[in-house]
Structure 1
Amino acid sequence: MSRMRMRLVVLQVVVLSMLAVLGARLWQVQVVRGKEFVNAATETRTRSVMVPAVRGQILDSSGRPLVRNKTALVVSVDRQRLQRMPDGGAEVLAKLAQVLGKPVKQLEKRIRSCGAGVTRPCWPGSPYQPIPVDERVQTREALQILERQEEFPGVTAEVQAVREYPQGKAAAQLLGYLQPVTQEELDKRVGLKAGFSGVDLVGRDGLEYVYDEALRGKPGLRQVQVDRLGKVLGVEQQVAPTSGDTLITSIDARVQNVVEQAIAHAMKSAPKADGAAGVVLDPRTGRVIAMASAPGYDPTIWTGGISEAEYQRLLSDKSGKPLVSRAINGQYAPGSTFKVSSVSAMLQAGYPLHGTYDCPGSYMVGDRAFNNFHGIGLGPMTLHTALVKSCDTIFYRTSYEQWLKDGGLHPKTPPKEVFANMARSFGFGKPTGIDLPGESSGRIPDRTWKKDMWQQTSADNCKRSRTGYPEVKSASRAAFLKRLAYENCVEGFLLRPGDAANFSIGQGDVLVTPLQLARAYAALVSDGKLRSPRVAWARVRPDGTLVQTIDPPVVGKLPISAKDRAYIKDALSQVPSDGTAAGAFSGFPMDQVRIGGKTGTAQVWGKEDTSWFASFAPAANPRFVVVVMVSQGGMGATTAAPAAREIYEGIFGIKRPALVPGGRPASRLPLIAPDGTVAR
């Protein structure tokens, strides 16, 4: 009996002890840490959701959309949440694949991180960002996911804005594309991280990249109540997002399409052509009216993720690297279009503007004969005729004379280098500063450049001068390369007389971009001011309020007089009617619209010539500068010039209604109504 009583006492003590501990714990939870747990409970049922802003449109100079948004149902997956599941989210992905009608393997590839050895499709963005796996979901599929959320944890279906390109492939390289935000970007760009909605995309190229912050807008904030399954029970607080600005450009969509067609036709007419570019500038303002590059690509290829095969095609030499804009990145010898700089250099060096110059079939530069085109001599002529008929030997002679005045192989300190310095004054040898990323600088090969290049290549040249080129199949070609390597090894730092001669006609090591050449001609035929071109014209709010006007800045001035510029422009005005481009413009109504310009045919070792035509119109009062380049297109007069003619016929309405009424670029911004539509 006493043993039974003892057991009851022990049991009572245990129970009382447990009640005491429970009471103490309740007092601690409810009194001591009560506020802390209340806040924690509130946080558990409240979620803050960043609401992405609608990205701004990109319009042409008349308000036509170049890039706009369309709404689409997008299904996204939270990979981090799936990975925390016991099976790594395999069951959820299997169910999702069944709803979307896609293979599970495809979804798995879409949500894996891009990296070394990982082929596309993959996710290049932040691992903490919801990953879109289908951007063309039907309402029925989205409802299946939303109504059975317990079966699809970590999966969302939302209406989002997706980029649309009403002009098709036109200006793809100029407009750029969007890609997910990477974790590295979030870590580096504090402003981006602060305003990141979790589903934002950022510009990766073109205008989308340069004006990304303005186009992206500011995300809103929504605080919602959710149950344990994540279903939304109600909205506690909401701050609306601020839509991105609308970017109005100086691009004329109609002219852009004509330029795209013209360079495509030019490439078809030249069997070996592997690329082309066309640039149209307003010479008075420096604004870009059209800029095209071929081959191009369809920008919608980025929507919904790009496959490895598609991505490699965009970068492939075989497909012509369609992702690269030849207008601003392509560097080519300009041929005779460069002579406007050489004539200006001659005038600055003291050669008479109205002098008479002999144009023999060949001219000895040092111990080597440099020939005119086809070795044909044209006799005595003025500089005016030298440009119209494109005489080479006049420029060989004058550039060689200036090279000798600078000391030849033993230059004075410092040498004047009249031809090279004039070329720089025309804007060659450095980027134009256009509001597009990745612009190339071109090349002006002066004495300093020769020394720098020799320091970089002398070791390889000296090695090749001993070993030769056994991998080259042609014995004569291999012998030539070995001899050239020896010369560059021993004296590659010297600017030779042949270098000076080739420079004067835009050959040898001279490289320019089509945009650089267009800008140089724009300065020459307008007010002599060198401007940094701009594609963007203005930023406006979605309701039409003007935020900023973007003006092309003046960055230099041609060092020749207005009289000299007028003389050169007058000579160029006769090239399409009486000079090297006469065949290309045969039958063109010059009495209605006179075209001025210069053909260029640049030789490239082992390839067909690069075809150029740099031009302006109307010749008396230029409102358009048009430059066309066709890589491996042959002669300038047979490929590039006809393409330029096609562009002018579209602009001025030859054989069809004029694309530009009145023959003048747009001078006033389109009006955006308060509802976001274009008023005119």
Structure 2
Amino acid sequence: MHARLLVLHVLVLTLLAVLAVRLYQVQVVRGQEFVTRAAETRTRTVMVPAVRGQILDAAGRPLVRNHTALVVSVDRIGLIRMPDGGLSVLKKLGAVLDKPVKLLQKRITPCGPGVGKPCWTGSPYQPIPIDDKVNTREALQILERQEEFPGITAEVHSVRQYPGGEAGAQMLGYLQPVTQAELEKREGLKAVFSGVDLVGRDGLEYVYDDVLRGKPGLRRVQVDRMGKALGVEQEVPPVSGDTLVTSIDSRVQAVVEEALQHAMKNAPKADGAAGVVLDPRTGRVIALASAPGYDPAVWAGGISASGYQRLLSDATGKPLVSRALNGQFAPGSTFKVSSVTAMLRAGYPLKGTYDCPGSFMVGDRPFNNFHGIGLGPMNLHTALVKSCDTIFYRSGYEQWLKDGGLHPSKPPKEVFANTARAFGFGKRTGIDLPGESSGRIPDRAWKKAMWTQTSGTACKRAKTGYPEVADKARADFLKRLANENCLEGFLLRAGDSANFSIGQGDVLVTPLQLARAYAALVSDGKLRSPRIGWATVRPDGKLVKRIPVPVVGKLPLSEKERLYIKDALSQVPSDGTAAGAFTGWPMDKIRIGGKTGTAEVWGKEDTSWFASFAPTQHPRFVVVVMVSQGGMGASTAAPAAREIYEGIFGIKRPPALPHGRTASVLPRFAPDGTVEGE
């Protein structure tokens, strides 16, 4: 018994000694550390998001602006730590906002495999905005009963607003939450991330995101043990993002959008259209439109799975995709400005006479003029005005033979392909927008590369045929074609070169590339990389910097040759293929030049093109219109271009641009950052 008591005493004394040592460590050795930590738990550091900069047109009118809204956000991490995973809080919140709990749960669920929209694409550690259309009464219910809504906040935020509706939606872009991957990947973003920031996902919002986003502020708030705010300990105000001034004119943009809608309505099978307006003197973009479009406001507050699929659906025409810079189409006869230049580089005389028969034999196959009509002898000027195909077929075929035909013995010159590249085709223009397509210039190297990729499929089809094709004649043709591609698909054939010369076959360009090429042709021969951004301006109205338009090349033409081609194009709307579309136009006051294009597409209606400029003497505008499945260029695209010029110059209605002048002076800003005179 005595031994047991002794052991118990020793044990108690040992425990007391351990406790004394621990108390000494806590109170003396690490006392200051724990005091500091305790003090830190009585403060909360809040990053205050900056107001995002506006996007303005060339006259200072807003293309994208901010408006204040009450936004309810959820701290998902805080909710899932609750015993019921925050379900009771979400039920109360759903009752206040009149939203089903399942929808709220979906909105705060991180996106991932098997998780459909709406879901949360941002960082899991930031508050998740779930409603940006909250009224004051709903917000007060949350704020006044904060103990019932832990992890729920209702604050005033700035929300993006698009005064033009659908106008230029693909060009302007949209905002989405910052993802955790972006925080780790984008240098400097994590350091200035406010926790509720949105970043640009497309268009100008993406390219100029760093400029527009601004710098968040800091607020350190003292709180009690229940988390209730007691006072502000420190505050650093946020710095608003800079304003982006663009060269876009919102009135011209609206005119182009309307013209595209009319063009598609008048061509029943049309499934898309694009319009580009450039200032050829500067290379700046005045309007950039794509149809069908969409309202960028759909991104605010999160987009549903069905809404997102609609933006990418073939059935709705993929409105999220900009046909102006992403759409790739055969350019048809608008491409002949490059082919005429190639002929000159190959040694054909500028003022020579060329026969324009109704048909020209390329090898053992006839290549026909439009409707097989022969126009007799003519010069290159008339060949452009009347759009004779057979002159170009002949020159393309002759140059193919000169290069060695199917089996060149030395490196071929490929003058047509190389001239097209000098016009900027086959590569991106470098415009200040993301995701631009490069188009395609199908030369011998391209043919070989394509054959390497597709020969396996072609050879398989050469054996199996196309049993799924009901039309036997069609199936037999496809099988023969597959066999030909299997054996000789790497060869550039004579027909390929003939089609290339009139912008058909495998040639693809974007409407923006074509507009850029025509701008160089009718101005000074210099190829520029178009720009939409013109300048950035601080919130106090002071200019930060101008955004230059770089010169990236020069057309392979002498000044005499360039003016010769320009003069020929100047007659197309009055005496050539576009004359019908411009009947009654006051050419004596405002002369328009251009070129129609009608590109055949197998199994579909033709692609309709019109590339133009005005006034012809000293061009201030280049207008390119493309209508997919629109039919002939003279019947669909050219009338749409005429409608755009009517809007610009004030024919039948007040002018979109007074006196037809593009902006050359930046808007004037007041000290508060507003535009003077607006």
Identify the TM-score tier after normalising by the shorter chain: over 0.9
Answering whether residue 410 of structure 2 is matched by residue 420 of structure 1, we say no
Q: Which runs of 5+ in 1 are unaligned?
A: none
Residue 68 of structure 2 aligns with which residue? 71
Match of 2:561 among 560, 564, 575: 564
| Partner SS, residue 377 of structure 1 | coil
Q: Distance in 2 between matches of 1:553 and 1:670?
A: 22
Match of 1:362 among 354, 359, 363: 359
Please report how far the alpha carbon of residue 655 of structure 1 lies from its aligned counterpart in structure 2 after TM superposition.
1.2
Partner deviation per Cα, 1:278-316 (whole Å, 9 max, x = no partner) = 000000111000000000000000001000000000000
Match of 2:95 among 98, 105, 120: 98
Answering whether residue 622 of structure 2 is matched by residue 625 of structure 1, we say yes
Answering whether residue 567 of structure 2 is matched by residue 574 of structure 1, we say no
Partner deviation per Cα, 1:387-416 (whole Å, 9 max, x = no partner) = 000000000011111111111111142111
| Partner SS, residue 496 of structure 2 | helix
| Partner SS, residue 420 of structure 2 | helix
| Partner SS, residue 248 of structure 1 | strand
Answering whether residue 616 of structure 2 is matched by residue 639 of structure 1, we say no
Answering whether residue 257 of structure 2 is matched by residue 260 of structure 1, we say yes
Q: Distance in 2 between matches of 1:668 and 1:469?
A: 62
Residue 195 of structure 1 aligns with which residue? 192
Residue 376 of structure 2 aligns with which residue? 379
Question: What are the equivalent positions in structure 2 for 1:549-560 lying under 5 Å apart?
Answer: 549-560=546-557
> Quick one: which amino acid aligns to residue 450 of structure 2?
M
Match of 1:674 among 647, 658, 671: 671
Q: Distance in 1 between matches of 2:380 and 2:21?
A: 105
Answering whether residue 176 of structure 2 is matched by residue 179 of structure 1, we say yes
User: Which stretch shifts more, 68-77 or 181-190?
Assistant: 181-190
Q: Distance in 2 between matches of 1:99 and 1:228?
A: 27
Match of 1:212 among 206, 209, 230: 209
Residue 110 of structure 1 aligns with which residue? 107
Answering whether residue 38 of structure 2 is matched by residue 41 of structure 1, we say yes
Answering whether residue 151 of structure 2 is matched by residue 159 of structure 1, we say no
Q: Distance in 1 between matches of 2:538 and 2:91?
A: 44
| 1:285/1:412 CA distance change after superposition, 3 Å | farther
| 1:14/1:605 CA distance change after superposition, 3 Å | closer
Answering whether residue 599 of structure 2 is matched by residue 597 of structure 1, we say no
Match of 1:343 among 340, 350, 359: 340
| Partner SS, residue 569 of structure 1 | helix
Please report how far the alpha carbon of residue 29 of structure 1 lies from its aligned counterpart in structure 2 after TM superposition.
3.2
Residue 610 of structure 1 aligns with which residue? 607
Partner deviation per Cα, 1:447-475 (whole Å, 9 max, x = no partner) = 11111111111111011111111122222
Question: What are the equivalent positions in structure 2 for 1:212-611 lying under 5 Å apart?
Answer: 212-611=209-608
| 1:491/1:28 CA distance change after superposition, 3 Å | closer
Q: Distance in 1 between matches of 2:131 and 2:652?
A: 47
Q: Distance in 1 between matches of 2:524 and 2:353?
A: 28
Q: Distance in 2 between matches of 1:334 and 1:23?
A: 88
| Partner SS, residue 102 of structure 1 | coil
Does the CA contact (< 8 Å) of 1:45 and 1:225 recur in 2? yes
| Partner SS, residue 497 of structure 2 | helix
Answering whether residue 112 of structure 2 is matched by residue 88 of structure 1, we say no
> Quick one: which amino acid aligns to residue 607 of structure 2?
T
Does the CA contact (< 8 Å) of 1:465 and 1:485 recur in 2? yes
> Quick one: which amino acid aligns to residue 301 of structure 2?
G
Does the CA contact (< 8 Å) of 1:611 and 1:633 recur in 2? yes
Please report how far the alpha carbon of residue 138 of structure 1 lies from its aligned counterpart in structure 2 after TM superposition.
1.1
Does the CA contact (< 8 Å) of 1:600 and 1:611 recur in 2? yes
Query: How many matched pairs?
Result: 675
| 1:24/1:486 CA distance change after superposition, 3 Å | closer
Q: Distance in 1 between matches of 2:228 and 2:358?
A: 86
Residue 120 of structure 1 aligns with which residue? 117
Please report how far the alpha carbon of residue 22 of structure 1 lies from its aligned counterpart in structure 2 after TM superposition.
6.7
Please report how far the alpha carbon of residue 121 of structure 1 lies from its aligned counterpart in structure 2 after TM superposition.
0.7
Does the CA contact (< 8 Å) of 1:149 and 1:229 recur in 2? no
Please report how far the alpha carbon of residue 360 of structure 1 lies from its aligned counterpart in structure 2 after TM superposition.
0.3
User: Which stretch shifts more, 102-111 or 140-149?
Assistant: 140-149
Partner deviation per Cα, 1:486-516 (whole Å, 9 max, x = no partner) = 1111111111110000000000000000000
Q: Distance in 2 between matches of 1:671 and 1:446?
A: 50
Please report how far the alpha carbon of residue 19 of structure 1 lies from its aligned counterpart in structure 2 after TM superposition.
8.2
Please report how far the alpha carbon of residue 32 of structure 1 lies from its aligned counterpart in structure 2 after TM superposition.
2.5
Q: Distance in 1 between matches of 2:7 and 2:412?
A: 110
Partner deviation per Cα, 1:609-667 (whole Å, 9 max, x = no partner) = 00000000001110000000000000000000000000000001111111111212100
Q: Distance in 1 between matches of 2:103 and 2:191?
A: 32
| Partner SS, residue 238 of structure 1 | strand
Does the CA contact (< 8 Å) of 1:277 and 1:293 recur in 2? yes
Q: Distance in 2 between matches of 1:545 and 1:189?
A: 28
Q: Distance in 2 between matches of 1:14 and 1:392?
A: 107
> Quick one: which amino acid aligns to residue 643 of structure 2?
E
Q: Distance in 2 between matches of 1:21 and 1:282?
A: 84
User: Which stretch shifts more, 668-677 or 17-26?
Assistant: 17-26
Please report how far the alpha carbon of residue 98 of structure 1 lies from its aligned counterpart in structure 2 after TM superposition.
1.0
Q: Which runs of 5+ in 2 are unaligned?
A: none
Identity of aligned residues (%): 80
> Quick one: which amino acid aligns to residue 443 of structure 2?
D
Does the CA contact (< 8 Å) of 1:264 and 1:294 recur in 2? yes
> Quick one: which amino acid aligns to residue 132 of structure 2?
E
User: Which stretch shifts more, 409-418 or 10-19?
Assistant: 10-19
> Quick one: which amino acid aligns to residue 175 of structure 2?
L
Q: Distance in 1 between matches of 2:12 and 2:580?
A: 111
Q: Distance in 1 between matches of 2:455 and 2:14?
A: 91
Q: Distance in 2 between matches of 1:114 and 1:425?
A: 45
Q: Distance in 2 between matches of 1:679 and 1:485?
A: 65
| 1:18/1:345 CA distance change after superposition, 3 Å | closer
Q: Distance in 2 between matches of 1:465 and 1:19?
A: 91
Please report how far the alpha carbon of residue 54 of structure 1 lies from its aligned counterpart in structure 2 after TM superposition.
0.6
Q: Distance in 1 between matches of 2:573 and 2:186?
A: 52
Q: Distance in 2 between matches of 1:233 and 1:585?
A: 73
| Partner SS, residue 440 of structure 1 | coil
Please report how far the alpha carbon of residue 34 of structure 1 lies from its aligned counterpart in structure 2 after TM superposition.
1.7
> Quick one: which amino acid aligns to residue 106 of structure 1?
L
Scaled by the length of structure 1, what TM-score is found? 0.97
| Partner SS, residue 393 of structure 2 | helix
